[in-house]
Amino acid sequence: MGDFRIEGNGFLLDGRPFRILSGAMHYFRIPPAYWEDRLKKLKAMGLNTVETYVAWNVHEPRPGEFDFDGMADLARFVATAQALGLYVIVRPGPFICAEWEFGGLPAWLLADPDMEVRCCYPPYLAAVRRFYEALLPRLLPLQIQRGGPVIAMQVENEYGSYGSDQAYLAWLRDLMLELGVATMLFTSDGATDHMLTHGTLDGVWKTANFGSRADGEFATLRRHQPDAPLMCMEFWNGWFDHWGEPHHTRDAGDAAAALDEILAAGASVNVYMFHGGTSFGFMNGANTDLETRRYQPTVNSYDYDAPLSEDGEPTPKYHAFRRVIGKYVDLPPLALPAPAPVPRLDLGPIRFTDYASLADNAARLGPTIEAAAPRSMEALGQDYGYTLYRTRTRHPGGTVRLSAERLHDRAQLFVDGVPAGVLERDGDLAIDVTLPGGPCVIELLVENQGRVNYGPDLQDRKGLLGWVRLGINKLYHWEMIPLSLRHLDVLGFGAYDGRPTDRPGFHRAAFDVAAPGDCFLDLSGWTKGAAWLNGFNLGRYWERGPQRRLYVPAPLLKQGRNELIVFEQHGSACRTAALHADRGAA
């Protein structure tokens, strides 16, 4: 059995001085076949610990239904780290931010119209308890006190930049202790007085998050915690990207100098991110600007300009960090990569031969739910994807303004099946449409582009959130079809037949691979949508950028025949795609 504790301004690990040199990796963003490879590269950079969040929405996709297998096998990830001689820091939330959908909270929480997360709202606390009662028994045997590698666990996450419910933080700490957590507990917050006031607990070790100016940040932390080890729990060495904004990078030399400042102060550090990986599927998060509240959905790539790239390759920042760390500790041999390099794949063009329109297949993809007025995705029992809202009405012919009270996040409008425009969350939510006169069908295909993962707009319900009007008249009697797009095997495909494909639909291609390899899916010329490879949702593409290609890890490919399905929301003249060995320019 082991022991890890604070002694003065430092740590003792089994009675010997220890400095935490950690790197962040999220098991749920990395194919399990690559966990060992990424962890070996983390250790080779000179780190002795790996840190990971725990994504509640991955593990409890529906209330009371738990998943700890495959990419959700947290215990296997921790055991893999231990086998490589690494220690582990676990941050189980329940909120994690992480640029992950709803900050890791499950969407079904929002089906409760009175829900208040991250506070002492009783139904929320009951849900957290149920999750922790399923999660923590899997982690308890992995604590250092029981011979495992877990040296610390976090209480909540950056609570000082969200709320002020100290009773909630204390309840969460007490729940962890009640359920058997014996390892060190800590909080992490931005190094400001107000964040460290609202986000910390007496008797719980405090850490700070920042990307530069270590001396000033640590001075603030010292005011709140004079006699404990200093640690930057999130050393932000890169950043993430929103759709429609420039790709973020940070100079390797600048980041390495900032790391040097932290280590020169005698502090411990967690490099956030060491390896970002990918927010596959519909699991990307979003932000709202804290001043304008403008909605900012995040891309699927979580490369983060980290030392290890999205596809697991050491970058100049990796080598710069290794040189800095080598000033303070003896480095392990730089035997990279280990195991052998993953083969790369270039393949194209991949030709699409089959098509299934959304109009002909919507009823196959989800149940039709009827209500007098539009209902949110969460009220419909839906978490991710799209919802098709449909109403039938009569209206005089001519031009009339269609308007929506509130929309999250983006809607394509159709009149009698013909595209009539797009409404976006931050627009004026109104558009002029031309009606034929008499009966007509109004449809809105609404996309959840990612729930907000940080800040006061966290409780980000999706869909049509209020009335829809034609002129001054509210529209009633809605049919709603939740389109989570989890199972595409129900689609009725046929060969391209000359019908218009400028409307939402699914394009299918089959292609052969002699030997799988890592690659990136290139959908240049397509407009907006999502892509599935052999049934696995790779994520979204959008001509708006900055992400241009979707990462395809080799384990998702098969030797022989493979299937690619693209859901194109707007239509494209393209009938091909390609797989490239590199990500291309952002």
- Rounded CA-CA distance 68/531 in Å is 25
Contacts with 244 (C-beta within 8 Å, 6 or more apart), sequence order: 544, 545, 546
Q: How many C-beta atoms surround the C-beta of residue 329 within 10 A?
A: 13
- Rounded CA-CA distance 165/453 in Å is 19
Query: Is 116 labeled as catalytic in the residue annotation?
Result: no
Among 334, 237, 304, smallest CA distance to 41 is for 334
Could you say which of 101, 158, 310, 447 is catalytic?
158
Query: Is 261 labeled as catalytic in the residue annotation?
Result: no
User: What is the three-class DSSP state of 130?
Assistant: helix
Q: How many C-beta atoms surround the C-beta of residue 298 within 10 A?
A: 25
- Rounded CA-CA distance 372/121 in Å is 30
Contacts with 35 (C-beta within 8 Å, 6 or more apart), sequence order: 27, 76, 77, 80
- Rounded CA-CA distance 367/483 in Å is 9
User: What is the three-class DSSP state of 439?
Assistant: strand
Q: What is the CA radius of gyration of the chain?
A: 25
| DSSP bridge partners of 355 | 494, 507
- Rounded CA-CA distance 199/206 in Å is 9
Task: Kindly provide the b/e burial profile for residues 166-177, where b requires at least 16 CB atoms within 10 angstroms of the residue's own CB.
Answer: bebbebbbebbe
Q: Tokens representing 261?
A: 């400042």
Q: Tokens representing 8?
A: 């003065």
- Rounded CA-CA distance 396/38 in Å is 63
Q: What single string gives the DSSP state of each residue in 341-352? A: PPPB--EEEEEE
Pairing mode of beta strands 369-371, 478-483:
antiparallel
**Side chain identity, residue 580:** H
Q: Compute φ and ψ for 252, nearest 5 degrees.
A: -60, -40
Could you say which of 51, 99, 156, 234 is catalytic?
234
Among 244, 196, 214, 578, smallest CA distance to 409 is for 244
Q: Tokens representing 500?
A: 């218009």
Name the burial class of residue 545, with classes exposed (0-12), middle (13-18) and buried (19+) by CB atoms within 10 angstroms of its CB. middle
Among 378, 245, 302, smallest CA distance to 96 is for 302
User: What is the three-class DSSP state of 143?
Assistant: strand
Catalytic residues: 158, 234
